[in-house]
Amino acid sequence: MRSYRLLQIIPFMLFACASESQQNSLQDYEEIDAATVLDAPKATPGSFAPERLYLVERGEYLVELLGCGACHTNGALEGVPDFDKSLAGSSIGIAYTTPLGDETPGVIYPPNLTPDEETGLGLWSDQQIERAIRVGVGRHSGRKIAIMPWQGYTKMTEEDVAAIVSYLRSIKPVRHKVPDEVKPGQKAKHPFVYFGVYRSRDGR
């Protein structure tokens, strides 16, 4: 299975400038080269009707193209994906409040997308998976899905989203429970990265 790191393809930024300032609240952070592009795992033979092959293959293509595994695979956010756990969720989280101003930011761990019934999407209906991808509504949380760029998937065609669902149902179930969400103010027990988003004040 291939994995190559592409600098700057996915703009995640871990804060790293600790050594430059005594005051820096980010002294507990280190810089990583995290952008990872990885193959989606192959469908399990016999897990789908032969006439659905086209849909499953299209789903695999879309999942690879849209980089779902870069967040939903253990280790990928640090540039060292665990290929045995492709798409089975990440025990490295993503902070959704900024560690710059918040010593203990809120953190979400991208969940397991394999068909495992206990820790993955095994008990989700097709419609629930489709809604999570295109509308950003989770099955458990009842709130809008954070961090995942579902707005970019909203205009996906019915066929494409059905292809993704067929594909996710066809891969090997992997038991892997990701850590629970950490609310801002609580201390995360598992590592996390932060996506930096800045806007300059120039020109106002």
**Minimum distance between the CB of residue 144 and ligand HEC, rounded to whole angstroms?**
7
Distances (CA, A) of 164 to 49, 71, 141, 145, 152: 15, 16, 22, 18, 15
Q: Is position 76 an interface residue for ligand HEC (rule: CB under 6 A)?
A: no
**Minimum distance between the CB of residue 90 and ligand HEC, rounded to whole angstroms?**
8
- Answer for which of 80, 104, 138, 188 binds ligand HEC (CB under 6 A) is 138
Contact 116, 176 (CB under 8 A): yes
Nearer to ligand HEC, 88 or 94 (CB): 94
Give 127: exposed, middle or buried? Use CB within 10 Å, 0-12, 13-18, 19+: exposed
Report residue 78 as tokens: 């640090």
Residue 55 DSSP code: H
**Minimum distance between the CB of residue 49 and ligand HEC, rounded to whole angstroms?**
21
Nearer to ligand HEC, 68 or 88 (CB): 68
Extended strands (E) in the chain: 3-5, 36-38, 93-95, 107-108, 192-194
**Minimum distance between the CB of residue 23 and ligand HEC, rounded to whole angstroms?**
30
- Answer for which of 70, 163, 171, 193 binds ligand HEC (CB under 6 A) is 70
Contact 135, 97 (CB under 8 A): no
Considering only CA atoms, which of 114, 106, 32, 132 is closest in space to residue 72? 114
Q: Is position 137 an interface residue for ligand HEC (rule: CB under 6 A)?
A: no
Q: Is position 133 an interface residue for ligand HEC (rule: CB under 6 A)?
A: yes
- Answer for which of 145, 172, 188, 190 binds ligand HEC (CB under 6 A) is 145
Q: Give how many residues touch ligand HEC by CB under 6 A.
A: 25
Extended strands (E) in 29-103: 36-38, 93-95
Report residue 77 as tokens: 């956010």
- x/- mask, ligand HEC, residues 161-180, rule CB under 6 A, reads ---x----------------
Nearer to ligand HEC, 153 or 194 (CB): 153
Angle at 166 between CA 165 and CA 168, to 5 degrees: 65
Residues at the interface with ligand HEC (CB under 6 A): 63, 66-68, 70-72, 94, 108, 110-111, 113, 129, 132-133, 138-139, 141, 145-149, 153, 164
